[in-house]
Every structure is written in structure tokens, then in C-alpha cells.
Structure 1
Amino acid sequence: MLGAIEAGGTKFVCAVSDDELNIIEKISIPTTEPEETFAQVFDFFDQFDLKAIGIGSFGPIDTNKESSTYGYITSTPKLKWQNTDFQGAFVRRYQVPVGWNTDVNAAALGEVSLGAARDKNSCVYITVGTGIGGGAFINGEPLTGISHPEMGHFYPPKHAEDTYEGCCDFHGSCLEGLASGPAIEGRFGIKAEELGEDHKAWEIEAHYLAHAAMAYTTILSPSCIIFGGGVMNQTHLIEKVRQKFDKLLNHYLQLPSLDEYIILPGLGNEAGIKGSLLLAKRALNA
């Protein structure tokens, strides 16, 4: 069996599957303190004979295998999780290969392998929820350098009517600080899922996400950009993003039709956990 963890700032989704990635059992655990959360994850996985585990984690994380802190969560705003040896804890307990990457890179791997980008050689996956993160797969491999991409932490142009100062603990008015779920609630005092389609929140939200798509397009030139996460469950939002992106790009580049280029996940809410199972499979075959 293969094990997988989609580790988010709000919850851990854990699953086991067969070699064909058919999920046999899956649970959700609240993200609390590391010791408490890991204990519940261990209780789940201890029931199974695992050959490998894949972990897609919130971050920032250390993905440099030459680093002394490889496998750690590093400078996360979740203070109790800073400097947590996440991957190492599972290597020590289960003595099996443990694949390790960001939650968004795992979701990107799921989409490029099994989902909306499966017939393409590259994609960018953006999750818009409690935070904003992005992963990129180019020619079947995750984009990495000195670290993993942090696509939610650049500074987009402010919307002309937006006076909100931003909620990112590190950068204030970066993309995450202006367009995440907590930013929408902080700006209007209402959770995103409770806002009607005609609320001006979505005009502002689409502005920021379109600028993000513009940046990723001009810098990375992916085959498609996939927007996932809880905020994107507002089904009308993706079309607003396409329309604003089209105006920003101003026909500068030759792209597919926008309903094929700026898209929703093909795997829905399972992109992250399926991608984490693929990380486990890759680790096993390495």
C-alpha cells in the first residue's frame, strides 16, 4: 500500500491506496500542534503495511536534499510548526521511502499526471484558500531552485477601490495578503462562501488573480494555469479572472482559448491527495 498526506494549515488529509492509486481509506485531521497532529496521523497509518509515503506540505519547507534541514517546515506563519522535522518523523517511524514536496507542487503533479493538465507537458497550479500558493511542473518535473516557488508572495498592483492593507504576516499586501480567504473576510467582514455573486468582492478578487495569471504566464509560459482551493469554489469567479486577464494581456501572446488556458482542477478537491500518492510512488521507484 501507498500512504499520502496532504498537509494544510487547517487540516491534514491522509489516505492509503493500492499501486494504481485507488484510494482505499481516507481521513481528515485538524491541524493543531505538531505532536498532537502527528500522533493522530500515526494512529491512522499504523493500521496499514505501507511501502512508501508521499507528503505534500504547507510551507515554506526545505526541499534541498543537500541541506541539513531537508524535510523540515521552516518559516511558516504557523509558529508552532516552525522548524518541524516533518519528513524525518515519518522516515524514522515507518522506515520506508518518503516523498516530500509542497502541497501545491503535489497538487500540480496530480493535475499534470491525472487531471486537467494530463495531456500537457507543463502547468501552474495555484491554490486560493487560507493562503495562496503555487506549484509549477515543467516537462514532468517540479520547478525548484534555491527553494520551491512561493507564488503567493509577490506584490500585485492594488485595485483602485481597495483600501485593505493586507493580512500576510510577512508581507502585508502581497497576493496572499490581498486575495486569500482571510483577506476577503478581513476586507468585508464576511467569509467568502457567504458572499453573493454580485458582491464587489469578486471584482477585486478577480483583479488580483488575473494579475497573478499575467505574471505566471509571462515568466513561466505554462501550457495552462489551474486555479484551485476553497475560494475558487465560487464557480462564477474563474470567468471573471479570464476576462480581466484577457484585458491585461492585450493579445500580446498567442495562447489557447482562455477556457482551456485558465481552468479549474480536473481532480477537484482530490488534486492534493492524489498528487501526494504520486509522490509516494515516485519515492518508491527512485
Structure 2
Amino acid sequence: MLVGVETGGTKVVCAAARADAPDRPVAVRRFPTTDPGATIGRIREFIAEAGADEPVEALGLASFGPVDADPSSPRFGTITTTPKAGWADVDLLGRVNQEGLPAAFVSDVLGAAVGELRYGAGRGASSLAYATIGTGVGVGIVIDGRPIGGDGWPEVGHLLVRRHPADRFAGSCPFHGDCLEGLTAGPAVLARWGVDASSFPAGLHDEAFAVLASYIAQMAYSVVLTTGAEKVVLGGGVMLAPGLLDAVRSALPDLARGYGPAALSAAAPEDVLVAPGVPDSPGVVGALALAADLL
């Protein structure tokens, strides 16, 4: 039996699956991310229950971050400089995996990128980026089938972007103010406009979408230019707003102006910028897949 865990800023998803079918969990449990002690205790309860009938052979853990995912680092498995209260410098892997199971540890978005490449919107591609625009902003990258990550970087969520001329919001990132996360994450949307991205009134909708789409398209273009990713999967709560994905696609050609790798020059925006294909929790599916790889 495999166990995969995705810890997000607001919720945790735990799943168990057979080693030959990591994309088809046989048990799933969700609960809120609260303080480290209570949250880790519930994760450990799930692992114990999953191994009640047959032993758990490997563990995959995909965590919100930044995280230290470099196996050679003395802080491997640790959440590092997160703004989430109480979670900075928590040895998440060590506290979850007290049994010393074979374990894979990556960021939550890198887990989602693996899940989408193997079982979702990235099927048939060799390189993919998964971006979540939600409580925070993060991007996981897989190049030629290999997850890219180590000591918490790359961290595309804090990319510095060109300001949209209609945007006067100072930004909400505690580190940088008006970085990508500070301008597009759910808390930034709520602080700027007073509603979430799915609830803009008619008089505000078009301008707000143009602002958000500009920043998200800049992120996607930068990722494709720097990594050559064939697809950028746009997920997270903000991207659930009806029509926002289309607005980002519409903003991309004006940014690219015909310049870029094959993913841009040989494809329409709708072939590059795609919605998630894993129906539920691609991060936990990716965590299960990485656990299966250890066997």
C-alpha cells in the first residue's frame, strides 16, 4: 500500500492507493490545515489506518512551502520561510514519517505537476508546469519527466511582474508587496476588490479580469521562456472564476508577440494554457506516483 499526502495552506488531502495504480486511490481523507501538532497528528492517524490490513510500503508528501526538498540537506523535509503562522521551520517529513518509510518529499505544486504530467492535462508531453493561483501562488515544474526542485526553489510565486496600468493596489505579499502572489492570490483579490474572483459585479468584472489575466499571463510566458514547458496548467481557487482562463489565454499573444519556444510559436494559447485534467487533488496523485517510484 502507498500513502500520499498533500498539505495545502487551508486543507490537507491524504490518500492510499495500490502500488500499481497510484492514480486510483482506494481511500481519501480531507481535513483543515490547522496548527502543526493537530494537523500532523491527523496525517499520522491516516497512515496508521491505511496500514491496518497491509503494510504501507512508501510515502509521498507534497507540502505547501517553501520547502527544503534536497535529500542531501540537513533540513530535508522542512517547511522553511512560509508566512503561514506557526509553520515556519517545521520538520514536516520527520514528524510525519516517524517509522522511517521510503519517502518522497516535494512542494505541493511540484506534486501537482507530476500528477498532471502523468495522469492529467500533460499526458503525452515531456515538460509541464503546474501553477496554483489560490490562497498563495506557486508553480511546480517537470522537465523531460524530471521534477525540478531542491532547497525550496524555483519559487515562481514571488516573480516580479509589470504593473497593469489600471491597477493601483499596493500588493499583499508580506515579503515583496506587489509580486505575483501579492497581486493575484485570493487574499489579494479580496483585499483589492472586496469579493472573490468568481463574484465580481458586472461593472467591475472586465477590468478586474484584465488585471488578473495580465499578471497570470506574464507568469506563464516567463515559465515557458525559461523552461520550455510544453504546457502550463492553471489551477487553484482563483482560476475557478468562470472565464478567467480564457482571459489569460487572450492576454498571452500580446505578451509573446510571436516570440518564444515551440510551445508558443507552434501552438494556440489554448494548447499551452490548460485547465487541470486530474479531476481531484492532482497534488496527492503526484505524491502517490512519487511514492510508487521508490518501489
TM-score by length of 1: 0.95
- 2:107 match: 102
- Give the Cα–Cα distance (whole angstroms) in 2 for the partners of residues 98 and 281 of structure 1: 10
Partner AA of 1:160 in structure 2:
P
Q: Label 1:57 to 1:145 Cα distance change in 2 as closer, same or farther (>3 A).
A: closer
Question: Pairwise CA RMSD of aligned residues?
Answer: 1.4
Equivalenced residue count is 283
Partner AA of 2:59 in structure 1:
I
Partner AA of 2:259 in structure 1:
Y
Q: Aligned with 1:23: secondary structure? A: coil
Among residues 166, 170, 173, which one is paired with 1:165 in the alignment?
A: 170
- Give the Cα–Cα distance (whole angstroms) in 2 for the partners of residues 269 and 244 of structure 1: 27
- Contact 2:43/2:96 (8 A) holds in 1: no
- Give the C-alpha shift of residue 255 in structure 1: 3.1
Q: Give CA deviations for 1:173-208 in whole Å, capped at 9, x if unaligned.
A: 100000111111010111223225761321111011
Among residues 201, 208, 221, which one is paired with 1:214 in the alignment?
A: 221
- 1:64 match: 70
- Contact 1:64/1:70 (8 A) holds in 2: yes
Task: Trace 1:105-144 onto structure 2 (pairs within 5 A).
Answer: 105-144=110-149
Q: Label 1:196 to 1:24 Cα distance change in 2 as closer, same or farther (>3 A).
A: farther
Matched, 1:241 2:248: yes
- Give the C-alpha shift of residue 224 in structure 1: 1.0
Q: Aligned with 1:79: secondary structure? A: coil
- 1:2 match: 2
Matched, 1:265 2:276: yes
Partner AA of 1:126 in structure 2:
A
Among residues 186, 189, 192, which one is paired with 1:184 in the alignment?
A: 189
- Runs of 4+ off more than 6 Å: none
Q: Give CA deviations for 1:144-169 in whole Å, capped at 9, x if unaligned.
A: 36542111101111110111011111
- Give the C-alpha shift of residue 47 in structure 1: 1.0
Identity %: 36
- Give the C-alpha shift of residue 237 in structure 1: 0.9
- Give the C-alpha shift of residue 231 in structure 1: 1.0
- Contact 1:229/1:269 (8 A) holds in 2: no
- 2:97 match: 91
- Give the C-alpha shift of residue 273 in structure 1: 1.4
- Give the Cα–Cα distance (whole angstroms) in 1 for the partners of residues 195 and 109 of structure 2: 26
TM-score by length of 2: 0.92
Matched, 1:174 2:173: no
> Comparing 193-202 with 259-268, which one deviates more in the overlay?
193-202
Partner AA of 2:42 in structure 1:
Q
- Contact 1:62/1:71 (8 A) holds in 2: yes
- Give the Cα–Cα distance (whole angstroms) in 1 for the partners of residues 269 and 87 of structure 2: 39
Among residues 41, 46, 49, which one is paired with 2:48 in the alignment?
A: 46
- Give the Cα–Cα distance (whole angstroms) in 2 for the partners of residues 17 and 203 of structure 1: 41
- 2:18 match: 18
- Give the Cα–Cα distance (whole angstroms) in 1 for the partners of residues 139 and 199 of structure 2: 25
Partner AA of 1:69 in structure 2:
R
- Give the Cα–Cα distance (whole angstroms) in 2 for the partners of residues 51 and 33 of structure 1: 28
Q: Label 1:75 to 1:132 Cα distance change in 2 as closer, same or farther (>3 A).
A: same
- Contact 2:129/2:233 (8 A) holds in 1: yes
- Contact 1:90/1:98 (8 A) holds in 2: no
Partner AA of 1:10 in structure 2:
T
- Give the C-alpha shift of residue 221 in structure 1: 1.4
Q: Aligned with 1:216: secondary structure? A: helix
- Give the Cα–Cα distance (whole angstroms) in 2 for the partners of residues 55 and 147 of structure 1: 14
Partner AA of 1:73 in structure 2:
I
- 1:279 match: 290
- Give the C-alpha shift of residue 270 in structure 1: 2.4
- 1:36 match: 38
Among residues 61, 71, 77, which one is paired with 1:55 in the alignment?
A: 61
Partner AA of 1:269 in structure 2:
D
- Contact 1:123/1:136 (8 A) holds in 2: yes
- Contact 2:77/2:105 (8 A) holds in 1: yes
- Contact 2:196/2:238 (8 A) holds in 1: no
